[in-house]
A and B are shown apart, each in its own frame.
Chain A
Amino acid sequence: MATLDFSAALRVLARCEVDFLVVGGIGAVLQSAPVNTFDLDIVHSTEPANVARLLAALEELNAYYRLQPERRLRPNETHLASPGHQLLMTRYGPVDLLGAIGSGRRYADLVPHTVEMELEEGVRVRVLDLETLIATKEESGREKDLAALPVLRSALAETRRRK
């Protein structure tokens, strides 16, 4: 596996003007939750113009499906327009493109529940806020997601306390 560099992956997505938001473990970490993860989870807009920009970014990231790495299968427009999950390997590490999360919430549903962060000059990313991240994990009901809830709830409480 290549050295993980999620900052670089986010930089490429931002430079290609992809409409996306960061969810999952990295979304939690960006909001001070002390969790660990080895992949970057994003929810992207499935609008045709955005899918085209996303494909260009994935080309630059040398993205291919992790399931059969030896075949180097690449996602196409149809894959990216679907609400399904595309589990990819890139030059900067694993990236999961999620068409929908929780109870089927898609990009347009989630955008109002995001915070914008500047990671470096010119690289601004939208991150799903902790309240909604917690809600989507509760909706999914999977053991993996439920296990993360105590830390996420505590991070939310501490953030509110400090405000």
Chain B
Amino acid sequence: MVNVFMGMKTILALRALFYGEMQPEPTQPEYDENGVDLTLIRWMMDMTPAERLETLQSFANAVLKARGERGDS
């Protein structure tokens, strides 16, 4: 026998889900009080130091190339 008893809270949650009313709960802020984008910091924290350096180099080289200052090798 399956127990189908649900509390009011569960029913409301299921109703919200069914009607698309449910919003993801914010778990961590995206910006701090100075406006710094914390998602970028967390993204970099997931990389190894070598990957962080490679990301920086790729960006810097792309900028130099766009400026026409980089001699491709």
Contact = CB atoms under 8 A, between A and B. Distances in A.
Contact-residue bracket for chain A: 20 to 34
Give chain B's interface residue range (CB within 8 Å of chain A).
20 to 34
Interface in A6-33: 6-7, 25-26, 29-30, 32-33
Main secondary structure of the interface of B (DSSP, over half): helix
Nearest to A154: B36
A6 B69 CA distance: 17
Interface in A28-45: 29-30, 32-34, 36-38
Contact of A29 (B42, B53, B71): B53
Contact of A4 (B37, B42, B55, B64): B64
Interface of A: 1-7, 25-26, 29-30, 32-34, 36-38, 117-120, 150-151, 153-155, 157-159, 162
10 closest A-B pairs by CB: A154-B36, A34-B40, A32-B44, A150-B34, A117-B49, A32-B45, A158-B41, A30-B49, A119-B50, A29-B56
